[in-house]
Amino acid sequence: MSSAATTERYSGTAIALHWLLALALIGSFMVGVYMVDLPVSPQRLKLYNWHKWAGICILALSGLRLLWRLTHRPPADVAMPAWQRQSAHAVHILLYLLFFAVPLAGWAYSSAAGFPIVVFGVLPLPDFVAPSKELAEAIKPAHKILVFTMALLVLAHVAAALKHHFVDGDGLLERMRPGRR
């Protein structure tokens, strides 16, 4: 029997939260990279609003995902060298921190710049920080650094999962694959 056939899987809820958050992060990243170089226009303003809404949704999904993870035991680790297990745990911890830090930095930047967030055009959020041009100028590059740090960690996470699937054949990727068990 192959290791893939005996590998324990994550719960359906954990899998759904993982992939929903992954899609939200990718979409928000792509919109963010695209929108920053657009000239000031209604289209740019619309994309900024969508990006902010995505950030707030990512923040909420991250909270749900963390709550789920803290209250539900994950499957046992697959067999791998200790350095790989330690690296995987470190990357997961950093990703969870960034799931919160990136949208909170974005919210802080928007607040400091004097642009309120009104989720889906109907739910106004309070300012995360007081408006301040100087603070906005300090937060903007921090948000960008956090975003690209998260993007690099996501790429490392994906590369490691693909390595485990195609090189090691240890069933690790099957644990988080959507679909039937």
Domain ranges of the chain: 3-176
Question: Taking every pair of C-alpha atoms in the chain, what is the biggest distance, in angstroms?
Answer: 62
User: pLDDT exceeding 90 applies to what percent of the chain?
Assistant: 91
pTM above 0.75, yes or no: yes
Record: fold of 3-176: Fumarate Reductase Cytochrome B subunit (1.20.950)
- pLDDT tens per residue across span 112-161: 999 999 999 999 999 999 999 999 999 999 999 999 999 999 999 999 99
- pLDDT tens per residue across span 54-65: 999 999 999 999
Give Cβ neighbours of residue 14 (< 8 Å, ≥ 6 apart).
65, 68, 69, 72, 74, 176
Q: How far is CA 65 from the centre of its chain?
A: 10
